[in-house]
Structure 1
Amino acid sequence: MTKKHWLCALAALAALSNGAATASAAGPSGGEWDFRVLLDDSPIGEHRFALATNGGERKLVSDARFAVKLLGVTVYRYRHEATELWRGDCLHRLTSKTDDDGTPEKVTAEPAGDNALAVATPKGTQSVDGCVMSFAYWNPAIRTQARLLNSQSGKLEQVRISRAGSGTVEVRGQPVEATRWRIATDAQPIDVWYSQQGEWLGLDSTVSGNRKLSYRLK
């Protein structure tokens, strides 16, 4: 597997990662998640999330910054910023921009009628009907979904989500008992860790080249 291939897989997974407050049936109303991002247990950057509620709408802002080095030389840089507006468990608006090692990407999503989103990318616009979620790991309602919107590509992805056991995950340097849920996509599966209260604690995935990508709360 070439370096280019596993770096592309790394970028795709980062974009999907879009902590913590007490969760309710519709997820937390606010909170902040500040993750260290590790590749094969070596730090490569951070991904931060901030969630706030204003009236009946929630706003999530996320910012990811990675730099992968080989023999002390930076061989890959990644930056992803996204703002999502939510009404209940339904994504209402989205804006994102990405610099994938010099390749720019941009996605917007706006309401289109009473029950649809118009998702626009440089390649065109598609209509997505019904209530749709992005890869909103912070909201436990994600575990009931069969499709999720990729905030970097604008692609609506079919997923299979199931409980995959329990164990411990490191949270701010300490092991914490957690439940693991697996999100199976057409690319790599993503294992997401939640506390007994439904709080998002971290994630793990194997990217191309059999390399392990992990998010761990600071």
Structure 2
Amino acid sequence: MVTLFSVPLYSYRHTSVERWRGDTLVGLDSQTRKNGKEKRLQGVRDGDGPLVLENHKGERRTFPESPLTTTLWHPRTPQAPQLLEVEDGWMKTNTTQDIGREAVRIGDTRQTARHYRLAGEVQRDVWYDDRGLLLRVAFQHDDGSRIVMQPAADFT
């Protein structure tokens, strides 16, 4: 939450649980509260059938193929032409630029990671280590501030 003189200016809380079987998304449950507005997205894949998602408005979407999501954790995310937005269930376009290998500081250590810049409707910078673990995410917020998310310490 961002406040000015104890007055909330912006609040955001998001939780998302994805269930995967190998490389197939078989379930999703996400809840978002953004500036007092609630969103929810739930869905499940029945056996080999399509993934069916329903959002807080009761809108349903069906995905025969397994989409990668905007949680960005999957190492194939940069190669996906579209990503499933886990707040509302819409597919977002994605184009990717491979920036190259860089050293990323995680706690007291430096790790080499591959830096990608996602563009299109999903605008994020992401860094993955050689095993495909997501090490860092950075993006520009609507208010112009730059947000960087990464572990505070080495988790490997």
Question: Distance between the aligned counterparts of 1:208 and 1:170, measured in 2?
Answer: 26
Cα distance change, pair 114–177 in 1 and its aligned pair in 2 (3 A): closer
* Structure 2 residue 125 is matched with structure 1 residue 191: yes
8 Å Cα contact 1:82/1:96 also seen in 2: yes
Cα offset, 1:112, TM superposition? 5.4
**What residue number does 2:38 align with?**
104
Could you tell which deviates more after superposition, 172-181 or 96-105? Answer: 172-181
More relative contact order in 1 or in 2 (CA 8 Å, sep 6+)?
1
What does 1:75-154 align with in structure 2 at a 5 Å threshold? 75-111=9-45, 114-123=48-57, 124-154=59-89
8 Å Cα contact 1:80/1:97 also seen in 2: yes
Question: Distance between the aligned counterparts of 1:157 and 1:115, measured in 2?
Answer: 23
RMSD: 2.2
**TM-score normalised per structure 2:** 0.83
* Structure 2 residue 130 is matched with structure 1 residue 217: no
**TM-score normalised per structure 1:** 0.62
**What residue number does 1:30 align with?**
none
CA offsets per residue over residues 41-100 of structure 1, 9 Å max, x none?
xxxxxxxxxxxxxxxxxxxxxxxxxx2234565422211111111011121111111111
Q: 1:178 aligns with which of 102, 106, 113?
A: 113
**What residue number does 1:204 align with?**
138
Q: Which amino acid aligns with 2:105?
A: E
Equivalenced residue count is: 151
Q: Which amino acid aligns with 1:205?
A: F
* Structure 2 residue 100 is matched with structure 1 residue 165: yes
Task: Identify unmatched segments of 5+ residues in structure 1.
Answer: 1-66
Question: Distance between the aligned counterparts of 1:185 and 1:71, measured in 2?
Answer: 36
Cα offset, 1:136, TM superposition? 4.0
Cα offset, 1:103, TM superposition? 0.5
Task: Identify unmatched segments of 5+ residues in structure 2.
Answer: none
What does 1:14-33 align with in structure 2 at a 5 Å threshold? none
CA offsets per residue over residues 22-51 of structure 1, 9 Å max, x none?
xxxxxxxxxxxxxxxxxxxxxxxxxxxxxx
Q: Which amino acid aligns with 1:196?
A: D
